Amino acid sequence: MFVHQAGDARSALYFGAALAAAAQASFNLQPIESDKSTDIDPSKYAFVVLSDTLALPSIFENALVRYVRGGGNVLIAAGTSAAHHARIPIFGGYSSDTHSYARDGYATVGETDLTHPLFQSMTNQKTADDAPGANTNAGWTDLKVYEVSRVDAAQARVIVRLTDQTPLLMEKQVGEGRVLLLTSGLDNLTNDLPVQPAFVPFVDRAARYLAGSDSIGGGRLVDSFVPLRTAAGQAVNSSAGVEILDPDGHRALSLTEAAAAQSFQLSRAGFYKIRFANGRDALIGVNPDRRESNLEPIPNDLLQLWGSPTAPPATVSSASSGYVQEKNSAHGIWWYVMLLVLVAAVAESIVASHYLGTQREEA
């Protein structure tokens, strides 16, 4: 759900286009004007975006607070409305003022927390020319920021800072949920992020991060466990059931187990379809650990570590070496084959000479 002001159609256009262009797009964006959000239930949506609309109807704001504390996630873009409203809803911080960089031209990104899940996949796609450990700023190096809101970053994790140390992107844990705060806008007026190449990967990662797709879907190993419920979800609806279809398409849990199970062990390879207690669906691919197929001989030093603790080191080492040599020794069978060929040739000669001798006697 994308909540915006009545006169702001640019933000929803840019965000919706980036979401649709994402490689793993699986979301439908529903734009809603802020003054029409009174009766909206945010729990029906994977995540919520507040774009340049910090003045919300009290009923909807209270519903958002419950939504986030219960495990929902929200992205807030302060935009220009932060200049008129000191308090940032849901996030809980305050905007002291709005700083414009128009006199100096623009500000650029100075620091990026590349360990945050929003940027981890971007930093993994480095070229061969990149130095080891180089800070690529996740593609935000060319970003031009014209206006930001100065928000108190207390109890928040700063993900992106400008060159003057002003926070541009922050995250705060609120109850069981997360709130991402962009201190600028999404309308291509306070910055040019919507037209930067990094915008689509950012929206894609942010959508999957806020929706929890990265944590519940994807690939897992055989015998790993997947959590089916959260503490917040149980507080809201403790009787909600789950549904799991195993690789054969059969239900893996009984009705009693589905109503009470906290986690599930993925005991077989294949694809599992899971509907979690919070209503979200996930397709999880389960594969055996590839280390089980490693046929490389165990190193001697590792065998020595697993040897008998009471045996002398020399004895363990010699026994381990002998074991490895015995397992790795190759026995050729070519000379057996040659001996068999030789015996066959001799037998053939004997039979042939006997046949020729019988022919001469008859003549």
Residue pair 264/250 in contact (Cβ under 8 Å)? The answer is no
Q: Which helix (H) or strand (E) holds 355?
A: helix 334-362
Per-residue model confidence (pLDDT) at position 124:
47
Q: How far apart are CA 62 and CA 41, in angstroms?
A: 11
Give the Cα separation of 208 and 242 in Å (integer).
Answer: 21
Three-state DSSP class for 142?
coil
Q: Give me the pLDDT at residue 318, please.
A: 47
Residues 6 or more apart whose CB falls under 8 angstroms from that of 183 comprise 78, 82, 148, 149, 150, 151, 166, 167, 168, 169, 170
Q: Residue 256: enclosing H or E segment and its boundaries?
A: helix 255-260
Output the pLDDT for position 215.
57
Distance, in Å, from the CA atom of 188 to the CA atom of 51, rounded to the nearest integer, reads: 12
Q: What is the pLDDT of residue 49?
A: 93
Point out the residues of the chain with pLDDT beneath 70. 23-26, 82-86, 120-138, 213-218, 229-240, 278-279, 307-332, 355-363
pLDDT of 182? 93
Give the total residue count for the chain. 363
**Residue 89 in contact with residue 37, Cβ under 8 Å?**
no
Catalogue the long-range contacts made by 18-26 (C-beta closer than 8 Å, 24 or more residues apart).
18/194, 18/199, 18/200, 18/202, 18/203, 18/204, 19/203, 19/204, 19/207, 21/200, 22/200, 22/201, 22/203, 22/204, 22/207, 23/204, 24/204, 24/208, 25/204, 26/213
Q: What are phi and psi of 357, to 5 degrees?
A: -65, -40
pLDDT at site 133:
36
Single out the residue of 115, 33, 84, 82 nearest to residue 181, CA to CA. 82
Q: Which two tokens stand for residue 149?
A: 């809101």
Q: Tell me if 176 sits within 8 A of 148, measured CB to CB.
A: no
Residue 232 CA, chain-centre distance (Å), reads: 22
Q: What residue has token string 């996949």?
A: 121
Tally of CB atoms within 10 A around 347:
10
The residue type found at 288 is P
So what's the pLDDT on residue 235? 46
